[in-house]
Amino acid sequence: MGGIRRVVLDVDIPSNISTVELAEKLGRVSGVKAVNVTVTDTDVEVLGLIVIVEGDGINYDEIKRVIEDLGGAIRSVDQVIVGEYILEVNPQLIRER
């Protein structure tokens, strides 16, 4: 079985950190092929983000290190996909729970 293919994180970062810089740094992590950083919440000091990282054999420790080095905090790991291919979740299953 392959390594991590996708990670979805709920992240808070200081508002003086550029989301472009964060995305670019995450894009340079080994195994990462695509990064999506979406701002979900804005405050005076803090930005709330959903960070989606996709690739092949993503180095999660390095992802964590990049976020923390920029002063960010991972609030929760909302999705992790590991394997040979991306196994999507059926939204109906979540709704039925």
17 binds other proteins (CB under 8 A): yes
**Burial (CB count within 10 angstroms: exposed 0-12, middle 13-18, buried 19+), residue 52:** middle
Are 60 and 10 a contacting pair, CB within 8 Å? Answer: no
To the nearest whole angstrom, how small is the minimum distance from the Cβ of residue 11 to other proteins? 10
| Binding positions for other proteins, 51-70, rule CB under 8 A | 68-70
- Taking CB under 8 A as the binding criterion, the range among 26-34, 38-46, 50-58, 84-92 that sits at the site for other proteins is 38-46
Of the candidate residues 1, 20, 42, 43, the single one contacting other proteins (CB under 8 A): 43
CA pair distance 80, 73, nearest whole angstrom? 18
- Supply 6's token pair: 């996708």
Phi first, then psi: what are they for 60, rounded to 5°? -65, -35
24 binds other proteins (CB under 8 A): no
List residues binding other proteins (CB under 8 A).
Answer: 12, 14, 16-17, 43-46, 68-73
